[in-house]
Amino acid sequence: MIDEIPLCNAADLVNSGDAVPFDVVYCGQTIQAFCIRYQDQVHAYLNRCSHVPMEMDYQPNRFFDSTGQWLMCATHGAMYDPQTGACRGGPCRGGLTKIVLSETGGVVHWHTAHNLKSLEF
């Protein structure tokens, strides 16, 4: 069963701005994920570089390079397409793991999947 989990107000995300972080359970492991807005569309990915599985942000919630066009891993400089998560330069082994989102009524929701669950308290 797929659930929609409220994440943030849509207004919290600005184009090429700071991300909204959130935690997920991916394949049984608790991992941080992030949500961004790029060209007026929201996107979310696991905060895990495909080159080496490390968190990517160079400062808390900052993933865009200085041009605002690419998501960048602060450790090794891998560059990713903000719309697809595909590797566009630097050391990558594939792309970022995408998380399905929806934006309705001024709220952004993320969607669970067979291998992606919300944290249970």
The pLDDT tens digits of the residues spanning 96-115 come to: 999 999 999 999 999 999 99
Report the predicted TM-score, pTM, of the whole model to 2 decimal places: 0.94
Query: What token pair was written down for 26?
Result: 């991916």
Q: What is the pLDDT of residue 17?
A: 96
Return d(Cα 23, Cα 15) in angstroms, integer.
22
Which residue type does 22 have?
Answer: F
Homologous superfamily in CATH for domain 4-117: Rieske [2Fe-2S] iron-sulphur domain (2.102.10.10)
pLDDT of 1 > 80? The answer is no
User: Apex CA 8: angle with CA 70 and CA 71, to 5°?
Assistant: 10
Residue 57 is predicted with a pLDDT of 87
Looking at every residue in the chain, the average pLDDT score rounds to 93
